[in-house]
Amino acid sequence: MARAGYENIMVVIPVYNHGATLPAVVEAVIAAGWPVLVVDDGSSDEGLRAISDFDCYLTQLPRNMGKGAAIMAGAREAQKLGYGRIITLDADGQHDPDDAVVLAERSAKHEGPAIIIGARRMIQETVPKSSLFGRDFSNFWVKLECGLDLADTQSGMRLYPVKELLQLNPGRLRYDFEVEVLVRAAWAGVAIDSVEISVHYPPRDERVSHFHKLKDNLRLTGLHTLLIGRRLIPWPHLKLVKQSTPRLREQLVVRHPLKTLKKICRENASPAGQAVAVWMGLFLGALPLIACHTLVIIYVTHRLHMNKVAAVAASQFCAPPVVPVLCIQVGFFMVNGRLLLDLSWQKWLLEIPQRLGDWLLGSLIVGPLLGFVGAGLIYWFSSRLQAHKKAQLSGH
């Protein structure tokens, strides 16, 4: 029986060798009044036998295809059963099924389709530090890719609109699915929102996880590289939700140019945001983008939602002659094994194609290193300044 008021929502639980924890999770979801669909992702522990008598739907994938594949299979099955939204939660007992109603309530506040993320309150002592770092690292890249400041882009407890999820048809179907679907949904105009949920992390020896630190981190790295590259290409994204009103940014530009300037200066102005923008400004500033550095920097920072003012300002430190000459010397040394000490016209003007090649090669070394130095200094200074302001405010 569906929970009253949310008859079009089904809970989907992807499962892979979670036989020890699955019965308690399914039982709790049923007790909370939600229809349940368990999707077995090619498990080998015969865990489905333990819930064969439960009042829930079951479906199995022919082999282990990944968590994303299981969620997509669950979405297709839910659509066949007449459900318009699904709430996913992990089978390891990490999530509290009672929190599903919190996601449903937040979804009801949106007029159109929306993905609601259950942002985990990761405050337990048993929370692995790697999980905290992974969450923050993922949040950082997602913000660059789609401009959304989300609290937990790796949470497995989410509410998805079924129709839009299936239309997105994401290509990544393992742990990288959950990041890709957020970014592509944002590009498609689907609203993305967050609401806090509780989370349970058992002690390390009781924890069940199938995250492969090497393989899955490599998949995530490849995914973020792909998404960043796609974001930089000025080609329209698939749109699933049309915007009925002009964007706020466009309104500000036309009606309030001074507010627009302030908004540009404050965009992503956190210590980390400024540091990343400075790195990008120094990296691009070191490249041989003759006469178009500023245009390229503004374009890249705009597409990646970075602080344009910080990036352009940082790039000025790469103005001729010091940084270009340094790049040329590094590039020349990498090719010839010695420095270019010949300062004749022949070497520096008549051999321009060779010097541009040296400049490009050297900038790929000098630019990132210079960027890290600048970003580190800006992060340190900005963090201290921010802490000082907070101390002053708390003092009053």
**pLDDT tens across 286-345, in order?**
999 988 999 999 999 988 888 888 899 899 999 888 999 999 999 999 999 999 888 877
Residue 63 has pLDDT above 50, yes or no: yes
Share the mean pLDDT of the chain: 84
pTM above 0.85, yes or no: no
280 and 132 part of one domain: no
Residue 217 has pLDDT above 80, yes or no: no
Instruction: Identify which has the larger pLDDT, 31 or 385.
Output: 31
Sheet of 191-197: strand order equals 57-60, 36-40, 9-15, 85-88, 158-161, 114-120, 191-197
CB 375 within 8 A of CB 314: no
Q: Residue 211: its pLDDT value, please?
A: 58
207 and 281 part of one domain: no
Q: How far apart are CA 393 and CA 396, in angstroms?
A: 5
Instruction: Identify which has the larger pLDDT, 25 or 127.
Output: 25
Q: How far apart are CA 283 and CA 362, in angstroms?
A: 11
Task: Tell me, yes or no, whether 243 lies in a domain.
Answer: no
Task: Tell me, yes or no, whether 1 lies in a domain.
Answer: no
Domain boundary among 232, 261, 281: 232
Residue 244 has pLDDT above 80, yes or no: no
47 and 85 part of one domain: yes
157 and 278 part of one domain: no
Q: Residue 245: its pLDDT value, please?
A: 47
CATH number at residue 160: 3.90.550.10
pLDDT band at 128 (very low <50, low <70, confident <90, very high): low
Task: Tell me, yes or no, whether 118 lies in a domain.
Answer: yes
Q: Residue 2: its pLDDT value, please?
A: 65
194 and 272 part of one domain: no
120 and 214 part of one domain: yes
The burial class, CB within 10 Å (0-12 / 13-18 / 19+), for 394 is exposed
Instruction: Identify which has the larger pLDDT, 51 or 122.
Output: 51
Task: Tell me, yes or no, whether 237 lies in a domain.
Answer: no
Q: Average pLDDT for residues 197-221, to the nearest whole number?
A: 66
Task: Tell me, yes or no, whether 238 lies in a domain.
Answer: no
97 and 176 part of one domain: yes
Structural domain span for residue 342: 248-395
CA distances from 129 to 125, 156, 161, 204, 214 (A): 9, 18, 32, 12, 17
Q: Average pLDDT for residues 264-278, to the nearest whole number?
A: 75
Q: Residue 263: its pLDDT value, please?
A: 53
Instruction: Identify which has the larger pLDDT, 171 or 334.
Output: 334
Task: Tell me, yes or no, whether 3 lies in a domain.
Answer: no
Q: Residue 88: its pLDDT value, please?
A: 94
116 and 224 part of one domain: yes
160 and 37 part of one domain: yes
Task: Tell me, yes or no, whether 272 lies in a domain.
Answer: yes
Residue 214 has pLDDT above 80, yes or no: no
181 and 252 part of one domain: no
Q: Residue 384: its pLDDT value, please?
A: 84
pLDDT band at 83 (very low <50, low <70, confident <90, very high): very high
Q: Average pLDDT for residues 241-268, to the nearest whole number?
A: 52
Domain boundary among 175, 200, 232: 232
264 and 219 part of one domain: no
The total domain count for the chain is 2
Residues 344-371: tens digit of each pLDDT? 777 777 778 888 999 999 999 999 999 9
Task: Tell me, yes or no, whether 59 lies in a domain.
Answer: yes
Domain boundary among 198, 232, 266: 232
Q: Average pLDDT for residues 233-243, to the nearest whole number?
A: 84
223 and 253 part of one domain: no
